[in-house]
């Protein structure tokens, strides 16, 4: 078992659930940018403190295949420890699970669960997901290796870490362990309680899409609805302007020639836009610009929120360009500038080529790994094929599913079967777990795949009006809405109820 505390001053990453085209490239990097800014204060605060106050970095030796005891291969999984609030060895342990990206020290220092730890004298641990960040097994990312990347393998790592860290950190056997996670990691937190209730006492699952779905057209339905929400700066006029802007882009693509060339220059497209598949990549990236404004609305570091996007769409034209299209163009420029990207999307061929690279990219956000998980477990392919959708109907579902074939040789039928098996194994939106709090924001497109209504006395759901993706987990800000503040208080109260029950009950570390 390898344990090596160290300071960590590298980049901090956020991730975003999405499929694996140029759309994911933009949206995942948008999420990365937001996390970097939200957690940058961690480094500044830490550098001004004693080294003992810094989170400790450690490494666990985990079996590569936990379901085959004859396979002796292993890998090193990174974790972080913040013990500055830990009051006693029988205090609670808050385990922050990583998802489809790197996990840094901010996972145990800012936002919840770290913000909740002082009230209960809790030990806070962050566990990076296998195959992401620096927890990538030796041997690369070819298909033979990726067989060991799944939510079930990740849950086995949680169990192993729970048992090993209890011993290494001298945690009492009576200490209740509470899992936290956001987005895919939120699903893992709920599933850890579902599958291992004797080890995990409770879970707080933020923006957790526990239902896998092949065609995620409802994503854009929520984006469309959020664009009309006056509470976050939207309006029906804004939604209509978005529709008009996308119609203008498609008109210019169809016109070809000078109109298409001008479109490429004005939108900063990387590809020539001659091929239909490259046009679909561009349209998907444009949807990510709009979807990203909704998904991360109101969060520190987001290049555009809904109010700003609507302002551009409704007032971004000039004498030579239609107003909504001009506003969309300005929105693209804002996002590219904030992300430091030179152009909006790659060609489809370049996207496929990048996803086929099997060498781990230390500075990347795990696009190949996450695509593999969508192809083999979750789907989550965002489409806009409903006639009511205000954006382009491209990229269509078949072109997105084709990526699984092009990159991994996986058929459409196998993907559909994998999605069905995931829902069967975990229970979809009726997981049957106890002591789980599902937290969502109604502006977040992912909340429709989560649990938004209380399912029983010990499965609670909190739907925060106007909140975006994982917003409850972010560090508190003076600009936080009253509903977000109230939501965080509700999380605190639920934890209070559960942890009081743990203190009064025998065997409180589990059920």
Residue 255 · residue 249 · CB < 8 Å? no
Collapsed DSSP state (helix, strand, coil) of residue 286: helix
Closest alpha carbon to 158 in 84, 99, 83: 99
Q: Residue 93 and residue 174: Cα distance in Å, rounded?
A: 11
Angle between helical axes of 236-255 and 218-227 (0-180°, round to 10): 120
CB-count burial class (<10 Å; 0-12, 13-18, 19+) for 241 = buried
CA-closest candidate to residue 8, choices 123, 154, 107? 107
CA 110 to chain centre: 17
- Catalytic residue numbers? 183, 444, 469
- Cis status of the peptide bond prior to 395, with omega within 30 of 0: yes
63: how many CB neighbours lie within 10 A of its CB?
18
Give one DSSP letter per residue of 76-140, joined into a string.
EEEEEEE-TT---TTS-EEEEE--SS---GGGGTSSTTGGGHHHHT-EEEEEPPTTSTT-PPTT-
Alpha-carbon span 493 to 498, nearest angstrom: 9
Neighbouring residues of 416: CB distance < 8 A, sequence distance ≥ 6: 214, 379
Q: Give CA–CA dist 82/169, Å, rounded.
A: 11
The widest CA-to-CA distance across the chain, in whole angstroms, is 75
Q: Which of 74, 52, 44 is nearest to 61 (CA)?
A: 74
Alpha-carbon distances of 55 from 49, 161, 168, rounded to whole Å: 11, 17, 16
| Residue 352, CB-side half-sphere exposure with 13 Å CA sphere | 16
- Cα 150 → chain centroid: 16
Q: Is 507 left (phi over 0), alpha (psi -120 to 50) or beta?
A: left
Does the bond joining 187 to the residue before it have cis omega, within 30 degrees of 0? no
Q: Which two tokens stand for residue 64?
A: 């590569």
Q: What are phi and psi of 275, to 5 degrees?
A: -80, 145
């Amino acid at each position: 078992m390898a344990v090596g505390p160290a300071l960590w001053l590298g980049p901090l990453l956020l991730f975003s659930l999405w499929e694996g085209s140029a759309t994911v490239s933009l949206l995942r990097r948008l999420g990365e940018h937001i996390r970097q800014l939200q957690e940058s204060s961690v480094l500044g605060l830490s550098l001004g403190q004693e080294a003992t106050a810094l989170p400790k970095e450690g490494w666990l030796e985990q079996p590569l295949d936990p379901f085959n005891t004859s396979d002796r291969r292993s890998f090193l999984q990174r974790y972080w420890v913040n013990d500055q609030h830990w009051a006693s060895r029988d205090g609670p342990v808050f385990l922050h699970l990583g998802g489809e990206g790197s996990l840094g020290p901010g996972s145990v220092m800012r936002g919840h669960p770290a913000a909740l730890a002082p009230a209960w004298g809790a030990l806070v641990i962050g566990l990076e997901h296998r195959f992401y960040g620096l927890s990538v097994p030796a041997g690369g990312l070819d298909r033979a290796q990726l067989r060991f990347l799944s939510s079930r393998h990740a849950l086995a790592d949680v169990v192993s870490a729970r048992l090993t860290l209890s011993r290494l950190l001298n945690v009492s056997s009576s200490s209740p362990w509470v899992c936290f996670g956001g987005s895919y990691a939120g699903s893992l937190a709920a599933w850890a309680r579902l599958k291992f209730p004797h080890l995990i006492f409770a879970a707080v699952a933020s923006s957790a899409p526990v239902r896998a779905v092949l065609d995620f057209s409802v994503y854009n339905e929520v984006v469309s609805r959020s664009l009309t929400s006056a509470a976050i700066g939207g309006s029906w006029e804004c939604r209509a302007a978005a529709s008009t802007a996308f119609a203008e882009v498609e008109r210019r693509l169809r016109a070809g020639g000078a109109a298409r060339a001008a479109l490429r220059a004005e939108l900063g497209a990387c590809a020539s836009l001659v091929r239909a598949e490259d046009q679909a990549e561009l349209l998907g990236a444009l949807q990510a610009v709009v979807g990203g404004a909704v998904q991360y609305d109101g969060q520190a570091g987001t290049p555009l929120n809904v109010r700003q996007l609507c302002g551009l769409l409704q007032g971004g034209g000039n004498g030579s360009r239609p107003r909504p299209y001009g506003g969309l163009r300005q929105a693209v420029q804002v996002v590219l500038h904030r992300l430091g990207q030179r152009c909006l999307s790659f060609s489809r061929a370049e996207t496929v080529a990048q996803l086929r690279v099997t060498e781990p990219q230390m500075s990347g956000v795990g696009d190949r790994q996450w695509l593999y998980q969508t192809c083999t477990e979750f789907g989550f392919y965002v489409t806009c094929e409903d006639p009511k959708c205000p954006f382009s109907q491209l990229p269509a579902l078949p072109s997105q599913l084709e990526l699984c074939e092009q990159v991994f040789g996986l058929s459409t039928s196998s993907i559909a079967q994998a999605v069905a098996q995931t829902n069967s194994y975990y229970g979809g939106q009726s997981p049957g777990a106890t002591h789980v709090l599902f937290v969502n924001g109604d502006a977040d497109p992912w909340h429709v795949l989560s649990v938004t209504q209380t399912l029983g006395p010990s499965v609670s759901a909190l739907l925060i009006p106007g909140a975006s993706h994982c917003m409850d987990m972010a560090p508190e800000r003076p600009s936080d809405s009253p509903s977000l503040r109230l939501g965080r208080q509700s999380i605190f109260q639920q934890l209070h109820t559960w942890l009081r029950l743990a203190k009064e009950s025998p065997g409180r570390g589990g059920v």
